[in-house]
Amino acid sequence: MTAASAPARADAAAPLATCRAYGLAIASDLALPELAALGTPCPADLAIRRVPEVALPCEAVALPAWHRFGPDAALFRWAEVGAFAVAPDGSRIEAAPNPGTDDALAAFPLLGPVLAEALRRRGLLVLHAGAVEMGGQGIAVMADKGVGKSTAVAALLAAGARLLADDLAAVDPGAWSLLPGFGQLKLAPAALEAFPPQGATLRPSVHAAIGKTRVLVPGLMAPGPVPVRRLYVLERGPGPEAAVAAMPPDAALPALLRFAYAARFGRQAVEGAAGAVLFRQAVALAARGGVRRLAVPQGLDRLAGTLPDAVAGDLAGAGR
């Protein structure tokens, strides 16, 4: 293996995009049915290109997962999937799936951490969160793994909300709006049975270790950006009903930094100039006063009624 290198420069003429997500026109060599189709092809904001190899340092191939963040590029490798490189300005992603890896499996990291890094390099504040639109207002749901972030999103969709994102929420800090991502949920079997999305298409499993079902729900997507009104830190509560509690800015800021998508990759992802940008964005968002704790009851039967009611009641006072 050779030393790490940045992706090749994009051609002067941008490739034609055929799909979109997060406000971007996207051209992709990989089949990505998760993304919404463009009515008319146009020059791409983001090009996803299949390449034979992404140049990585030798130590990368000895680990099950590896990543490196730098001003020249962000590099990722998963032993069971392949390698990816993100251009410095987030305009290009190079994908080198392992031989025999189909696009559906490659899409798991590509439309998760790899895309998150491209969005971050384009100036967006990217959160590890689900997000929906309710009554013209945008809310994000942040949670540790296993607490029920995607289940909460599904419960809100069943109550009439529209989807913005299942796992990767992007905030435009210029307008303080949440951007619509792509129409897919990943749900555990019990959550899928309790909250079956309208018009959903279930996708087949691509790996034995992935226990959730991929559910395409393009008809439930919000049509455009919506103002950020609430960012909920989801927790399991002891009571029978969901409950919302305010969070002061000095507690809200650590919560936003904790659930920043880049924070999943440790200190190297949030150091230097990129870390300073993230900190400033999180400070400004925390100061807007929209961060809340959202305690939810145990049991899907209890979640169905109390969660949407608690969120709707809190949003009714969002202007205060």
Per-residue pLDDT reduced to its tens digit, 48-77: 999 999 999 999 988 999 999 999 999 999
Q: What is the pLDDT of residue 10?
A: 43
Say what the pTM is: 0.92
Q: What is the mean pLDDT of residues 169-189?
A: 96
CB crowding 265-275: b at 16 or more within 10 Å, else e: beeebbeeebb
What distance in Å separates the CA atoms of residue 126 and residue 116, rounded to the nearest whole number?
Answer: 6
Q: What is the pLDDT of residue 319?
A: 47
pLDDT tens sequence across 75-127 = 999 999 999 999 999 999 999 999 999 999 999 999 999 999 999 999 999 99
Q: What is the pLDDT of residue 6?
A: 47
Q: What is the pLDDT of residue 75?
A: 97
> Rounded to whole angstroms, what are the CA distances from 255 to 14, 141, 185, 260, 280?
38, 12, 24, 9, 14
Q: What is the pLDDT of residue 1?
A: 34
Q: What is the pLDDT of residue 318?
A: 56
**pLDDT surpasses 50 at 320:** no
**pLDDT surpasses 70 at 12:** no
What distance in Å separates the CA atoms of residue 228 and residue 131, rounded to the nearest whole number?
Answer: 10
**pLDDT surpasses 70 at 34:** yes
Best CA proximity match to 195, nearest among 47, 301, 71, 110: 301
Q: Are the beta carbons of 13 and 27 closer than 8 angstroms? A: no
Amino acid at 210: I
pLDDT tens sequence across 225-270 = 999 999 999 998 888 899 999 998 889 999 999 999 999 998 888 8
Q: What is the mean pLDDT of residues 187-199?
A: 93
Mean pLDDT of the chain: 91
**pLDDT surpasses 80 at 191:** yes
pLDDT tens sequence across 255-266 = 999 999 999 998
